[in-house]
């Protein structure tokens, strides 16, 4: 089968062959080694100490563990070797992020350091800046923090008030202002700080934490991730060399927004790892807990929960590693064209910014679902701080706010698709306009080739793409340049896209798995069919909400008929499929898909 790499957002209008996707079942021996190393470190060193970390019983403990992680190469895995990193490929970076997922507050500290703390310098720093700071960041000798948010600027980052004024001799910038919610602030040695030069030009700066004029607020009392350091930072006449300006003056938004693409992606990889761990915890408890003389895992209501937790997590994993392959392939393509690795990674992340936004929403909301159901399976004990699931519940909630709120990411998903269409980078309108003619034709239900694996399912996915194009095309025609003000419709469309991407990714993974290990694919077929069936119903419902917000009369009736036509799928016994998945996991005593 032909190898195809889709452009960002192109999944909506083109089909990707399963041979192109990367799936966990084909990890290399080296990747498995990294995976096992990270897992062993989290289980042996971090998990036994997580309560001490959360209670700040030993403030040095978190720092010591970060230093231990650096000795394993975890702080510089994706950094090029010339700066002291390991230079692993992007797929391996994804694996490491996933395995850090169950480490809770520790994982937050690591992700802040290796992601938003290090990537601005890696992507936009001068060679002098990289040589000065990157070796220390990869070795752990320098800890990093990212200073963007202010009391009056959260989602609207460009509304920042922090100022940078050039000194009279032109050799320094004087920084004044305040930042809040800064992860790692309490122990960071290097801050990436966003400020406006002269109150106008939004710009990034590298500031050493020991520079005179910097003071820290007290540690924030947070709902969750209690062990991570979160403080306000105050800058009063902080004098830094002009050489510490990062990137270009007035171009700080490029740094802030581009770094978030990888941040969103890796957040999804981490929460996916957390969802696997939470599902395993729930399964073990359900097997051990007896009521009415039998394990509660034998009850249908509990099986429904376990099955659904596993199916949703499997879908997130499938979508995550599919995107990992897209980004990895793009990086390799750009390197072959002469780009250096850091620049290639930046461009590749920008190319798949739509997929990164989708994954951030999908992963964080699946983890929330999983930990909520885990608490429910534990019952009253789940509400007690003596058991681990209360911490999982509290720690999960921040992920829908981190890296841009889920509402912002939903609107970005649709907004970026439209902008790429307007620029001619994606042709969404041609197939959208063609649907108007197709709606007037007699439906072609076709004869699916029963010998073709997933023939009905793949056709259902292709039809679902038409459903989204139908709604999106009509909405854009209706509102034109005012469309982005219709946030409710954009949210509906984004949810349709999220379900489509997750369902198609799951089908592609299972199809590829069937070609590799056909003898073990029955369980995974159940997962794919169950998720697809439910996803199509959600796509229909979100489409209906969107259509009824702007259409009426004959137009409304025709569009609703078309929507139902494009989201049709055979009625299947999802109760049975979900129960089969749950029975498998219950028998294994953990999530092992």
> SS3 for 257?
helix
Q: Longest C-alpha distance within the chain, in Å? A: 82
Distance set, CA 5 to CA 8, 20, 322, 326 (Å): 9, 7, 11, 6
Q: SS3 of 492, please? A: helix
- Rounded to 5°, the CA angle 225-32-7 comes to 80
Q: What is the mean pLDDT of residues 1-10?
A: 75
Q: What pLDDT sits at residue 446? A: 56
pLDDT at 167: 94
pLDDT band at residue 46 using 50, 70 and 90 as cut-offs: very high
- Residue 2 pLDDT level (bands cut at 50, 70, 90): very low
- The pLDDT of residue 448: 54
Task: Report residue 294: phi and psi, to 5°.
Answer: -140, 160
Q: How far is CA 161 from CA 27, 154, 201, 412, 593, in A?
A: 47, 12, 11, 24, 48
Catalytic residue among 98, 403, 457, 504: 403
- The residue-averaged pLDDT of 84-99 equals 95
Contact by Cβ (8 Å): 204, 148:
no
Average pLDDT over residues 76-105: 94
Which segment of 186-190, 356-360, 462-466, 515-519 scores lowest on mean pLDDT?
515-519
Q: Which residues pair with 165 in a beta bridge?
A: 174
* Mean pLDDT computed over 342-370: 96
Where does the pLDDT of residue 1 fall: very low under 50, low under 70, confident under 90, or very high at 90 and above? very low
Q: Mind listing the pLDDT tens digit for each residue in 125-168?
A: 999 999 999 999 999 999 999 999 999 887 777 788 999 999 99
Burial of 350 (0-12, 13-18, 19+ CB in 10 A): middle
| Contact assessment for residue 13 and residue 461, using Cβ atoms and an 8 Å cutoff | no
- Cα angle 71, 73, 79 (rounded to 5 degrees) comes to 140
List pLDDT tens digits, range 364-397.
999 999 999 999 999 999 999 989 899 999 999 9
Single out the residue of 105, 84, 95 nearest to residue 32, CA to CA.
95
Span 433-451, mean pLDDT?
A: 65
Structural domains of the chain sorted by starting position, each given as residue range(s) with its CATH number in brackets:
1-420 (1.20.140.10), 428-588 (1.20.140.10)
Closest among 540, 537, 542, 505 to 524, alpha carbons compared = 505
pLDDT band at residue 82 under the 50/70/90 scheme: very high
**386-429 tens-digit pLDDT:** 898 999 999 999 999 999 999 999 999 999 999 999 898 988 87
Active site residue 71: no
For residue range 242-272, what is the model confidence (pLDDT) as tens digits?
999 999 999 999 999 889 899 999 999 999 9
In terms of phi and psi (left: phi > 0; alpha: psi -120 to 50; beta: otherwise), the region of 573 is: beta
DSSP secondary structure code for residue 29 in this structure = H
pLDDT reading at 234 higher than 90:
yes
Residue with tokens 């030993």: 58
Q: State the chain's mean pLDDT as an integer.
A: 93
Q: Under DSSP, is residue 190 helix (H, G, I), strand (E, B) or coil? A: strand
For the ranges 264-268, 426-430, 496-500, 560-564, the lowest mean pLDDT is seen at 426-430
Average pLDDT over residues 181-204: 96
| Rounded mean pLDDT, 330-356 | 94
Q: Is residue 11's pLDDT more than 50?
A: yes
Tell me which residue of 304, 308, 302, 311 sits closest to 284, measured CA to CA: 302
DSSP string, 532-567: HHHHHHHHHHHHHHHHHTT--HHHHHHHHHHHHHHT
What CA–CA distance (Å, rounded) separates 85 from 78?
7
Quick one: which of 367, 273, 266, 224 has its CA closest to 43? 273
| 294-295 and 290-291 strand pairing | antiparallel
Residues 44-49 have a mean pLDDT of 95
40 pLDDT exceeds 50? yes
Tell me if 215 sits within 8 A of 185, measured CB to CB.
Answer: no
Count CA atoms closer than 13 A to 368's CA, side-chain side: 13
Work out the number of other CB atoms within 10 angstroms of the CB of residue 522: 11
Beta-ladder partners of 150: 153
444 pLDDT band, cuts 50/70/90, is low
Calculate the CA dihedral of residues 540, 366, 361, 431 and round it to 10 degrees.
Answer: -30
Place of tokens 């090029």: 80
Residues in the chain: 593
Q: Which SS3 state, helix, strand or coil, does residue 352 take?
A: coil
Quick one: average pLDDT of 480-491?
93
């Amino acid at each position: 089968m032909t190898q195809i790499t889709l452009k960002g957002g192109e999944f909506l209008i083109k089909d990707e062959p399963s041979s192109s996707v990367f799936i966990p079942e084909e990890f290399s021996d080296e990747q498995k080694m990294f995976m096992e190393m990270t897992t062993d470190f989290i289980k042996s060193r971090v998990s036994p100490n997580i309560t001490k970390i959360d209670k700040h019983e030993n403030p040095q403990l978190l720092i010591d563990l970060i230093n231990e992680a650096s000795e394993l190469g975890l702080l510089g895995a994706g950094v090029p070797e010339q700066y002291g990193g390991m230079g692993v490929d992007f797929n391996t970076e994804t694996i490491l992020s996933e395995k850090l997922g169950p480490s809770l507050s520790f994982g937050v500290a690591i992700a802040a350091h290796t992601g938003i703390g290090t990537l601005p310098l890696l992507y936009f720093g001068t060679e002098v800046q990289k040589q000065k700071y990157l070796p220390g960041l990869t070795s752990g000798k320098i800890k990093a923090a990212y200073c963007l948010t202010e009391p009056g600027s959260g989602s609207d980052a460009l509304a920042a008030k922090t100022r940078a004024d050039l000194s009279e001799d032109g050799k320094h910038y004087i920084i004044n202002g305040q930042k809040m919610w800064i992860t790692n602030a309490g122990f960071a040695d290097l801050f990436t700080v966003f400020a406006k030069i002269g109150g106008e030009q939004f710009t990034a700066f590298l500031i050493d934490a020991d520079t005179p004029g910097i003071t820290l607020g007290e540690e924030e009392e947070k709902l969750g991730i209690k062990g991570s350091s979160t403080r306000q930072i105050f800058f009063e006449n902080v004098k830094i060399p002009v050489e510490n300006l990062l990137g270009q003056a007035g171009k700080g938004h490029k740094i802030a927004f581009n770094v978030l693409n990888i941040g969103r992606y890796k957040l999804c990889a981490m929460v996916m790892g957390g969802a696997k761990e939470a599902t395993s915890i729930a399964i073990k408890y359900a097997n051990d807990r007896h009521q009415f003389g039998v394990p509660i895992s034998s009850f249908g209501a509990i099986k429904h929960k376990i099955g659904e937790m596993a199916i949703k997590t499997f879908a997130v994993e499938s979508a995550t590693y599919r995107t990992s392959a897209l980004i990895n392939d793009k990086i390799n393509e750009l390197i072959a064209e002469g780009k250096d690795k850091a620049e290639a990674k930046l461009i590749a992340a920008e190319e798949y910014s739509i997929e990164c936004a989708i994954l951030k929403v999908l992963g964080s909301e699946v983890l929330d679902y999983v930990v909520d159901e885990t608490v429910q399976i534990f019952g009253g004990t789940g509400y007690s701080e003596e058991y681990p699931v209360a911490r999982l519940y509290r720690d999960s909630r921040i992920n829908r706010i981190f890296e841009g709120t889920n509402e912002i990411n939903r609107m970005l998903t649709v907004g970026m698709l439209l902008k790429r269409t307007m620029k001619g980078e994606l042709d969404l309108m041609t197939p959208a306009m063609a649907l108007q003619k197709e709606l007037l034709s007699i439906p072609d239900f076709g004869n699916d080739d029963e010998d073709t694996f997933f023939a009905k399912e793949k056709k259902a996915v292709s039809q679902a793409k038409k459903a989204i194009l139908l709604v999106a095309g009509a909405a854009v025609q209706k509102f034109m340049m005012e469309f982005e003000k219709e946030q409710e419709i954009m949210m509906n469309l984004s949810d349709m896209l999220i379900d489509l991407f997750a369902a198609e990714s799951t089908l592609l993974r299972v199809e590829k798995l069937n070609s590799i290990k056909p003898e073990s694919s029955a369980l995974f077929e159940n997962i794919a069919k169950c998720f697809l069936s439910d996803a199509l119903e959600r796509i229909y419902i979100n489409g209906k909400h969107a259509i009824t917000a702007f259409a009426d009369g004959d137009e409304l009736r025709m569009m609703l008929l078309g929507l139902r036509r494009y989201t049709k799928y055979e009625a299947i016994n999802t109760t049975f499929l979900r129960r089969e998945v749950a029975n498998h996991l219950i028998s294994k005593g953990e999530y092992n898909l």
